[in-house]
Amino acid sequence: SQQGEEDPQALSIQEGENATMNCSYKTSINNLQWYRQNSGRGLVHLILIRSNEREKHSGRLRVTLDTSKKSSSLLITASRAADTASYFCATTGANSKLTFGKGITLSVRP
């Protein structure tokens, strides 16, 4: 079963714009991670946020976590064509299992 559900399913923006992707989950978590997958490639870890954290930054990435709403958002600022990829949120629950959502397809137009 898939715990995280990303929203929107697909996003198309112009280079230089910001991209915001959301993830909602159902049960309590220990941490939440975001991964990127370029077409035909494996997943690459982007950022991890723990359940007691509210916001984290890494370069052009900003992740927020609202455990009361069971939701997270990933913001990519000043997007580039190279950011075109699928983005997945993944949650780790009390059973220590990492469960992925279905992913968001981001297209950044040059």
Partner 1 sequence: EAGVAQSPRYKIIEKRQSVAFWCNPISGHATLYWYQQILGQGPKLLIQFQNNGVVDDSQLPKDRFSAERLKGVDSTLKIQPAKLEDSAVYLCASSFPGGHTGELFFGEGSRLTVL
Residues 3-62 that bind partner 1 (CB under 8 A): 4, 30-31, 33, 40-45, 48
CB of 55 to partner 1, least distance (A): 19
Q: Which is nearer to partner 1, 18 or 58 (CB)?
A: 58
Q: With binding defined as CB under 8 A, does residue 84 bind partner 1? A: no
Q: Which is nearer to partner 1, 14 or 52 (CB)?
A: 52
Q: Give the angle 54-56-57 at the CA atoms, nearest 5°.
A: 155
**68 φ, ψ (degrees, to nearest 5):** -70, -30
Instruction: Give residues with Cβ within 8 angstroms of 46, minimum separation 6.
Output: 33, 34, 35, 36, 58, 61, 74, 87
Q: What tokens were used for 81?
A: 């064509």
What x-and-dash track marks residues 87-106 binding partner 1 by CB under 8 A? -x-x-x---xxxxxxxx---
